[in-house]
Amino acid sequence: MGVLSLDHVTKRFGKVVAVDDLSFDVAEGEVFGFLGGNGAGKTTSLRMVLDIIRPTSGRIEVLGRPPGRENAPAIGFLPEERGLYRQMTAIDTITYFGRLKGMTASDARKEGEALLDRFGLAANSGTTVDKLSKGMAQKVQLATAIVNRPRLLILDEPFSGLDPVNQGLLEEEIRRVSVAGATVVFSTHVMQHAERLCQKLLLLARGRKKFEGTLEQAREELPARLSVVARSSPMSLKGVESAEPRGSADDGWQEWDVRLAPGVRPADLLEHCTATGVPLRRFEERQASLHDVFVELVGRAEAQQ
């Protein structure tokens, strides 16, 4: 069952097309990664999902309904640019946002206290935000997002600005809400996080979808790469697109960085080598990282932004 669905959504700001004909679906319980460089349209898309801004055209469905504040009780949201009311205490802040999401004051406070306890901030519950360290404030902000035990948790660049300890805590929380059955959609341009957490990915570049699928499917988009040690250049072999020597030859054996033609599987080449008697000392498949996929699909310049 789809929790979130975008159907040919476009958003224009004057002459600038921020999101261009974007369509995708997120299934219930999925951890969905929304990947793209700066200015790719990730935040704009998430803002449209939350009804903070409206699309120029296209249709959005969130939890079976159009975007709107009536969805707030079932949604948790952590924006990229974070801030809290400096003069409010940690527990009052969490309670306030819980109440804005339709919780009763006592439920919101109870859940807030449980979260603060889990994040190691029980002693700071009554401390005003301006007296908390940055790391503590980040935890409070996360608590405001999940206080309502959301069915759909939307995180916009959640790891940016977090210290390593809080990055670990956030990953743990994402896994926790996912195990509890919630759907998580998060945008990021840090591929390692997406690689570790996401079951499904969407790559966005200049507002347009470049890829949607699983990590495996993403890797299949790239030509296979191999590390081969052979006596002669594999370039002449069937299905090899390129072969670059690496280092110097050792007693006639040379290591080669082999790139296969699109659609050619490493197993096909191995079979061909065996059948034709090509001597090999090493035949190692090098799995593409998500970064490689991203660079390939989105473009090197954008990936470096």
Partner 1 sequence: MTNILLVAAREFRQITAMRSFWFTLLILPLALAIGPLSAKFLNDDDTDRVMIVDHSGAGEAHSIEQRLSLDYERDLLSELSRHVQRYHLERADPAALWAQHDRWYSPADVASFRAAGGLDAALAKIKRVAPPDIPDFDPPERDFDLVATPAALVSVPEGQLDSALKPYLSPASKDRKPIDEVLLVPADFASTGAARLWARGQPDSTFVATLQDVLTRDLRTGFLKAHGLSPDAAEQASTIAPTLAISVPPPGGGARESMLVRSILPLAAAYLLMMSLILSGSWMLQGTVEERSNKLLETVLACVSPNELMYGKLLGTVAVGLSMVVAWVACGAIAGYATHGAIADMIRPAIAPLTSPVTIAALIYLFIVGYVAISVIFLAIGSMSDSMREAQGYLMPVMFLILIPITLLMQAIVGGSQSVAIEVITWVPIWTPFAVLARLGIGIPTWEVLATGLLLAIFTIVELILLGRVFRSSLLAQGQRPNLREVVARMRAAG
Using alpha carbons only, give the angle 111, 114, 119 rounded to the nearest 5 degrees.
125
Is 229 one of the binding residues for partner 1 (CB under 8 A)? no
Is 188 one of the binding residues for partner 1 (CB under 8 A)? no
Cβ-based nearer residue to partner 1, 27 or 53: 53
Q: Which of 96, 119, 159, 283 binds partner 1 (CB under 8 A)?
A: 96
Q: Which of 2, 27, 58, 100 binds partner 1 (CB under 8 A)?
A: 100
Residue bearing tokens 């090098």 = 286
- Minimal distance in Å, beta carbon 18 to partner 1? 13
- Minimal distance in Å, beta carbon 52 to partner 1? 5
Is 38 one of the binding residues for partner 1 (CB under 8 A)? no
Residues in the chain: 305
- Minimal distance in Å, beta carbon 88 to partner 1? 7
- Minimal distance in Å, beta carbon 154 to partner 1? 8
Is 189 one of the binding residues for partner 1 (CB under 8 A)? no
Q: Which of 11, 42, 82, 151 binds partner 1 (CB under 8 A)?
A: 82
CB distance 22 to 209 below 8 Å: yes
Is 72 one of the binding residues for partner 1 (CB under 8 A)? yes
Is 85 one of the binding residues for partner 1 (CB under 8 A)? yes
Q: Give residues in contact with partner 1 (CB under 8 A).
A: 47, 50-53, 69, 72, 75, 77-79, 81-88, 96-97, 99-101, 141, 144
